Amino acid sequence: MYKFLLILFFVISVNTNLLSEDNFEKGLRIAKESYESTRGYIDSESDQLMILVDPKGNEVIREISGKTLENDDPNDGDKSIIFFNKPKDVEGTVMLSHTHVNDDDDQWLYLPALGRVKRISSSNKSGSFMGSEIAFEDFSGNDYRKYEWEFIGEEEYEGETCYKLVSIPKYKNSGYTKRIGFTDKLLRPRMIEYFDRKGELLKTLYFEDYQLYNDKIWNADTFRVVNHQNKNKTIYKWVNRELNVGINKKDFEKSSLLRLAD
């Protein structure tokens, strides 16, 4: 009888927990499902175009191409290689990153004019990517492991009912105190508002031009960022993106950097 009651109590409490998932758990669950829906791409290759627009409408264009490699380790981040094509002076520069979830990334840079590979260690995740309004940390902003989540309701966004999620960075050097975003019912992030260290709205990232890759993974091929404080805009486009192309894993090692640069 005593054992039975104990079991009964246990079952009830577990069930109640499942039934009454709180908003933090719900937020985390949605974020995790959203993240996982983008996994399984194995590797990818793409050309990228970045347009910086100042408040007067002057544009500056940067061209890069990149490769990424999915990391199976549930406690670590993906690896990526960026080749710089434009402006001309930086053509041939290559950057290799081994990202980490909540630690500083490892980065190596090959500078063709110097002819050497340099390892950079810095807490630069919060820094601007090539003078744009996008920070390094924004590229992996869909990684649920980087934030504390909270679901705060459902709201219409561009005619679709979306989950409204608040996320708080765990990375201590993050440039943000908070993000508020909309994730649609296909689990695709649609828009994220970023709040700076003083808690003020800094910028909004709009995820646009969603494409379904390999019949299973939705990727936004355009990131449009509007900075509300300095009134600059950045448009970041992925073109010729391919997933699961079979890149040699060895390419993502420091020792391959010199070879890749040629």
Question: Would you tell me which residues interact with another protein (CB under 8 A)?
Answer: 52, 54-56, 58, 60, 84, 87-91, 93, 95, 107, 109, 111-114, 116-131, 135, 173-175, 196-200, 229-230, 232
Query: How many residues are there in the chain?
Result: 262
Is the CB of 132 or the CB of 219 nearer to another protein? 132
DSSP 133-174: S-BHHHHTTT-GGGEEEEEEEEEEETTEEEEEEEEEE--TT-
Pairwise CA distance, residues 106 & 116, whole Å: 17
Is the CB of 1 or the CB of 113 nearer to another protein? 113
Question: Smallest distance, Å, CB 147 to another protein?
Answer: 17
Is the CB of 42 or the CB of 112 nearer to another protein? 112
Is the CB of 46 or the CB of 107 nearer to another protein? 107
| Closest residue by Cα to residue 119 from 100, 101, 134, 105 | 105
Half-sphere exposure of 177 (CA within 13 A, CB side): 8
Question: Smallest distance, Å, CB 25 to another protein?
Answer: 30
Pairwise CA distance, residues 217 & 38, whole Å: 5
